[in-house]
Amino acid sequence: MSDKWQALKTYHATAEATRILDLFAADPARAQRFSARAGEMLFDYSKTTMDDRARALLIDLARVSGVAEKRAAMFGGEKINATEGRAVLHVALRAPEGASILVDGHDVMPEVRATRARMAGFANAVREGRFVGQGGRITDVVNIGIGGSDLGPAMATLALAPYHDGPRVHYVSNVDGAHIHDTLAGLNPETTLVIVASKTFTTVETMANADTARRWMATRVKTPASQFAAVSTAGEKTAAYGIDPERVFGFEDWVGGRYSMWGPIGLALMIAIGPAQFDAFLAGGRDMDERFVNEPLEQNMSVMLALVGIWHNQICGHATRAVLPYDQRLSRLPAFLQQLEMESNGKRVAIDGSDLTTHSGPVVWGEPGTNGQHAFYQLIHQGTRVVPCEFLIAREGHEPDLGHQHLLLVANCLAQSEALMRGRSLEEARAIMAQKGATGAELECQARHRVFPGNRPSTTLVYPKLTPFTLGQIIALYEHRVFVEGVILDLNSYDQWGVELGKELALALQPVLEGRQGTDGKDGSTAALVRYLRG
């Protein structure tokens, strides 16, 4: 463990008893000084136990960890994904016009732009009725993918519902047949477009669902593949499937799945909202990229979001973080961030293969407000574990006739962060129960049930309105957080070997479950479960 890590841990031990309310009392300008801005977006981290000394130590940690140098390496096309020997260039998918980014001496930007233009041409053809199904104009699009080929675009499509003016878009990911069955049940095969999103065109779950969709379409459509498109680099396999190369959109290996919605994986989103709004989404991501590159660390929203995460997880020892968007259309954001953060930074070894000397990424979870208030906030407020909370709220909703409900939503969001910080003392609880007429042992017992420890940290991200541009900013912000945390933790955020073993064992178990192989070599539990499931 470096001296900078040890200095942080030592300082935290001396300041651990500090209460957030006391920090506000000592500094009337704390809310302004412990916040960061990105245009009209505000990130408030003042309701945490971080003080000036802690922040200075965290910024020093970021500096000595090489955040600035490795940031330049990523944007410069260097192969920072060391275990796979790849560049990490999702930022290229939203780079500004005229940008040039070299990988192995080759400028990747002309191909990025050409692919995006092909996407826009196809999306417009679908939206304008120039590409049709056997039954006429396309009314529905079914995107079949899993992981990064599903979570990002599905989240973004829901988030940008007010901008939908194209066909209805549906997402299928789970290999459980119920998912595709229920999705296709209300659709017309003759007016449905299916997009199969799999870079290798071999992903087991995706191809099983694609085959099911093709059989479904074949009941009404003479040549089902004529209503299929693919997001894949496996041209031979998509051709063998019967998909016209004009409807196949590939992307390079320097785009990781969970970072890929900015390119062809976002095709279904582009069809839903149109190329112009998709460009606005890219512009939002690009805006955050430029701020991430150019702003000093202490004013850099992406860096400060990451440093708050490091403070809470690695220094304070809080193992989870709750993402709580007070925006119904961001209801899939926590699930998207689960993959983005936990698949990226859920590692146990450093880049050089040595064991990490501190914990890696936290468990990320959450639900939209106000639903969560009636589900798990009890534990957040009064449970024995501290869960740092990350609130998100829009200043303005999309429903002007329901402004009173948006005010209620905002009030709930702000109240929760205040309550987590403020809490309720035993003395306050006793006074409440005394007013209710309780006395003696009953008063004391009832009062103790109403104590809130308080001093529970939270951050709040406020944005003007959930537009394509704003969503782009938010997603890029969290992508850069993952990068900064990964650099500080000295791990590779861009591989995911942890998903491989289960895939391998699942393939091996399929013939066992089919009865073609025995259970020899399987552990007692797995063998018993196989026998039970086979009946």
8 Å CB contact between 463 and 473:
yes
Please state, in angstroms and as integers, the Cα–Cα distance from residue 34 to each residue in 56, 77, 498, following that order.
12, 33, 36
Could you tell me which of 463, 306, 324, 309 has the C-alpha nearest to residue 381? 324
Provide the 8-state DSSP code for 358.
Answer: S
Please state, in angstroms and as integers, the Cα–Cα distance from residue 21 to each residue in 24, 43, 262, 382, 419, following that order.
5, 19, 41, 18, 11
* Active-site annotation holds for 427: no
The gap from C-alpha 17 to its chain's centroid, in whole angstroms, comes to 33
Strand order in the sheet with 192-197: 168-172, 140-144, 192-197, 228-231, 248-249
Please state, in angstroms and as integers, the Cα–Cα distance from residue 83 to each residue in 349, 351, 374, following that order.
12, 8, 44
The partner residues of 376 in beta bridges, in order of sequence, read: none
Selected catalytic residue, list 246, 359, 374, 427? 374
CA distance 30 to 23: 8
* Active-site annotation holds for 343: yes
Q: Which helix (H) or strand (E) holds 510?
A: helix 500-513
User: Left (φ > 0), alpha (ψ -120 to 50) or beta: where does 113 sit?
Assistant: alpha
8 Å CB contact between 328 and 393:
no
Number of other CB atoms surrounding residue 398 within 10 Å:
15
Please state, in angstroms and as integers, the Cα–Cα distance from residue 253 to each residue in 74, 185, 314, 482, 518, following that order.
14, 35, 31, 19, 38
8 Å CB contact between 499 and 311:
no
* Active-site annotation holds for 444: no
Could you tell me which of 533, 154, 138, 106 has the C-alpha nearest to residue 335? 154
What's the count of helices (H) and strands (E) in the chain, helices before strands? 22, 15
**Contacts of range 430-435, beta carbons closer than 8 Å, 24 or more positions apart:** none
Provide the 8-state DSSP code for 518.
Answer: -
Selected catalytic residue, list 252, 343, 479, 485? 343
Provide the 8-state DSSP code for 317.
Answer: -
Please state, in angstroms and as integers, the Cα–Cα distance from residue 141 to each residue in 120, 129, 167, 276, following that order.
15, 13, 7, 19
Selected catalytic residue, list 106, 181, 359, 503? 503
8 Å CB contact between 182 and 129:
no
8 Å CB contact between 159 and 329:
yes
* Residues catalogued as catalytic: 343, 374, 503
